[in-house]
């Protein structure tokens, strides 16, 4: 007959509906040899026990097994089903004995040391349900693990347990949904844009979600193979390291720390090499504790280095540094809250403090995504500017040759298919060398700008003007016959002649010569316009310009 006079704080049901049992338990640590239940009961009776002081009992990593006791008193007249769960899914072995009237009514063995199918509930934690009969039931538990000995014991009526499960499902669904959507979106962006930040960010988020799925036991309800006692512990370590490494490389790449903080950048790089390497050595020699310490070290470095990189980026006046710091400090605070809650220090353990880490990471993920989105926008604007300048002459801001060709090509095609007319003007400033020689090159530049302005302002809407090279300009006149083009050229010639370069404080009169080529009734050089006739038309205008120059300049000519 088993008995113990030791009374832990009694849990009275059905009044007690749901909560953590840290404060209602008393415990002691097993010393050298594994105790039997009766030896443990004797110890409970005869030795001093530690009373749980917070919602979650937490004793550190790689500690000796713990024996716990608490009492449930069912004051109702019928058996009342309750669920007990230990919400840290990495515990290797948990044994629970329910003692009624001095006899073991039930023994429930579980933990990730047992194959998934043999566990009391096919659940992400060690959990079981039991109908507590009227009167007192003593609950004795023995817990053994190589991982962190954090024991948030949850005790709830079945109704509350199901309610909690549903709530928890929604909460995790929302958190993981946000993070997975962001991860996949960024990986898709990487496939199409080929910018490594997107890939690293996607991997970082995926790594975190996987790590969290494993750390909260959810992954192991899917992967149910029995790989042995430490499978889950090693997987947690591996995933912690993967997401930390991806996260740190993402931060390096996003903030480009190499440019302005080479020392810190090297340190981050080495951290992401040496710690995983050490973990690998630990894995090869099956040193779980050693690898676990390295994983926690990397996780701590991760938080500190994120903030340090943000501060360096801020000092270097990098855009987005403030948002980066805000996101990493928030994540750091949330990680600290969860860690302290699980460790039972300062922060009370409850569902919110346990999940703070995920909330912090989701917040960080959204802020980092906003940085990437803004960076994308800046890159787009830069690209548009670069594209514009690839088509624009920087001095006169008219089209350059490339811009001219790109704009005229579709118009020319349209005119050819519609059997319409089109003309070209080639304009060359007369004796421009004298301007340079007399007033200097920079004045020459200003003069060219002024003439370009006159040309573009004298053009009709739809005409396309461009700088053809040096002091030579070209104008394409769509839907304009050669005769109308001559008239238009005269307008521009007169406008140039009238330009006063007052802003340059120069009393200067400049003229320009014009070569005109164009079609009349869709005929150019006695043949209808075709796609291939564009180049010959330019050559024709060039010959006309030559004639204008050698006929005394400041005139409009065609090849007759």
Contact residues toward ligand GTP (CB under 6 A) are: 395, 428-433, 436, 441, 444-445, 448, 470-471, 549, 553
Q: How far is the CB of 318 from ligand GTP (least distance, A)?
A: 37
- Give dist(CA 43, CA 68) in Å, integer: 11
Integer angstrom CA distances of residue 453 from 232, 400, 492, 507? 73, 14, 11, 18
Residue (251 or 455) nearer to ligand GTP, CB: 455
Residue (409 or 437) nearer to ligand GTP, CB: 437
Q: How far is the CB of 191 from ligand GTP (least distance, A)?
A: 44
Residue (164 or 553) nearer to ligand GTP, CB: 553
Q: How far is the CB of 491 from ligand GTP (least distance, A)?
A: 21
Q: How far is the CB of 203 from ligand GTP (least distance, A)?
A: 50
Q: How far is the CB of 490 from ligand GTP (least distance, A)?
A: 19
- Give dist(CA 375, CA 362) in Å, integer: 20
- Give dist(CA 20, CA 117) in Å, integer: 26
- Give dist(CA 88, CA 150) in Å, integer: 7
Instruction: Supply the DSSP string of 372-429, one letter for each residue.
Output: HHHHHHHHHHHHHHHHHHHHB-TTT-SB-HHHHHHHHHHHHHHHHHHT--EEEEEEEE
* Three-state DSSP state, 13: strand
β-bridge mates for residue 26, sequence order? 51, 69
- Contacting residues for 530 by C-beta, under 8 A, at least 6 apart: 416
Residue (384 or 395) nearer to ligand GTP, CB: 395
Tokens, residue 368: 């980092």
Q: How far is the CB of 463 from ligand GTP (least distance, A)?
A: 23
What's the length of the chain? 560
Residue (259 or 434) nearer to ligand GTP, CB: 434
Residue (118 or 431) nearer to ligand GTP, CB: 431
Beta strands 80-86; 126-132: pairing state: antiparallel
Strands (E), 196-247: none
Residue (332 or 451) nearer to ligand GTP, CB: 451
Residue (316 or 443) nearer to ligand GTP, CB: 443
Q: How many CA atoms within 13 Å lie on the side-chain side of 500?
A: 3
Q: How far is the CB of 448 from ligand GTP (least distance, A)?
A: 6
316, 301 Cβ separation under 8 angstroms:
no
Q: How far is the CB of 397 from ligand GTP (least distance, A)?
A: 13
Task: Report CA 177 to chain centroid distance, whole Å.
Answer: 14
Q: How far is the CB of 430 from ligand GTP (least distance, A)?
A: 4
166, 98 Cβ separation under 8 angstroms:
no
Residue (413 or 431) nearer to ligand GTP, CB: 431
Q: How far is the CB of 307 from ligand GTP (least distance, A)?
A: 52
- Give dist(CA 132, CA 114) in Å, integer: 25
307, 328 Cβ separation under 8 angstroms:
yes
- Give dist(CA 236, CA 224) in Å, integer: 15
Radius of gyration of the chain measured on its C-alpha atoms: 40
- Contacting residues for 559 by C-beta, under 8 A, at least 6 apart: 517, 540, 543, 544, 547
Residue (251 or 544) nearer to ligand GTP, CB: 544
Residue (51 or 433) nearer to ligand GTP, CB: 433
Burial of 165 (0-12, 13-18, 19+ CB in 10 A): middle
Q: Which residue has 């461009």 as its token pair?
A: 466
Residue (223 or 395) nearer to ligand GTP, CB: 395
- Shortest Cβ contact with ligand GTP: which residue? 444
- Give dist(CA 97, CA 105) in Å, integer: 7
Q: How far is the CB of 435 from ligand GTP (least distance, A)?
A: 7
Q: How far is the CB of 549 from ligand GTP (least distance, A)?
A: 6
């Amino acid at each position: 007959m088993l008995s113990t006079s030791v009374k832990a704080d009694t849990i009275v049901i059905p009044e007690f509906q749901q909560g953590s049992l840290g404060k209602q338990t008393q415990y002691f640590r097993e010393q050298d040899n594994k105790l039997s239940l009766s030896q443990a009961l004797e110890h409970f009776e005869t030795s001093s026990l530690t009373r749980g002081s917070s919602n979650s009992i937490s004793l550190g990593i790689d500690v000796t097994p713990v024996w716990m006791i608490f009492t449930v008193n069912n004051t109702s007249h019928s058996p009342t089903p309750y669920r007990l769960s230990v919400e840290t899914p990495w515990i290797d072995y948990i044994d629970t004995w329910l003692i009624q009237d001095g006899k073991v009514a039930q023994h429930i063995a579980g933990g990730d040391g047992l194959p998934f199918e043999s566990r009391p509930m096919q659940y992400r934690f060690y959990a079981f349900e039991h109908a507590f009969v009227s009167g007192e039931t003593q609950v004795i538990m023995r817990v053994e693990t190589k991982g962190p000995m954090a024991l948030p014991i949850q005790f709830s009526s079945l109704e509350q347990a199901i309610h909690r499960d549903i709530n928890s499902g929604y909460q995790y669904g929302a958190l993981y949904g946000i993070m997975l959507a962001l991860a996949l979106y960024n990986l898709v962006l990487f496939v199409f844009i080929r910018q490594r930040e997107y890939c690293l960010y996607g991997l970082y988020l995926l790594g975190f979600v996987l790590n969290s799925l494993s750390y909260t036991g959810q992954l192991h309800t899917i992967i149910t193979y029995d790989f042995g006692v430490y499978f889950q512990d090693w997987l947690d370590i591996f995933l912690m390291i993967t997401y930390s490494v991806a996260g740190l490389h993402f931060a390096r790449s996003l903030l480009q720390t190499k440019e302005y903080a080479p020392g810190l950048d090297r340190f981050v790089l080495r951290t992401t090499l040496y710690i995983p390497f050490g973990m690998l050595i630990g894995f090869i020699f099956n040193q779980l504790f050693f690898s676990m310490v390295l994983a926690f070290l990397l996780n701590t470095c991760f938080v500190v280095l994120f903030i340090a990189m943000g501060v360096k980026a801020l000092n270097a006046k990098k855009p987005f540094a403030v948002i980066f710091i805000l996101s990493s400090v928030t994540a750091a605070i949330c990680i600290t809250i969860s860690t302290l809650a699980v460790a039972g220090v300062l922060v009370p353990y409850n569902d919110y403090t346990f999940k703070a880490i995920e909330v912090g990471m989701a917040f960080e993920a959204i802020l980092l995504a906003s940085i990437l989105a803004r960076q994308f926008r800046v890159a787009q604007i830069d690209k548009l500017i670069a594209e514009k300048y690839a088509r624009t002459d920087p001095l006169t801001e008219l089209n350059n040759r490339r811009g001219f060709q790109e704009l005229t090509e579709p118009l020319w095609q349209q005119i050819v298919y519609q059997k319409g007319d089109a003309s070209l003007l080639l304009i060359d400033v007369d004796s421009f060398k004298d301007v340079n020689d007399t007033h200097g090159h920079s004045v020459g530049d200003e003069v060219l700008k002024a003439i370009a302005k006159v040309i573009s302002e004298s053009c009709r809407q739809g005409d396309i003007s461009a700088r053809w090279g040096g002091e030579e300009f070209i104008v394409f006149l769509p839907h304009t016959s050669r005769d109308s083009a001559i008239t238009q050229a005269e307008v521009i010639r007169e406008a140039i002649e009238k330009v006063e370069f007052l802003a340059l404080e120069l009393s200067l009169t400049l003229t320009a010569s014009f070569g005109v080529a164009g079609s009349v009734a869709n005929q150019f050089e006695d043949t209808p316009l075709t796609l291939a006739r564009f180049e010959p038309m330019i050559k024709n205008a060039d010959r006309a310009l030559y004639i204008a120059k050698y006929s005394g300049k400041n005139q409009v000519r065609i090849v007759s």
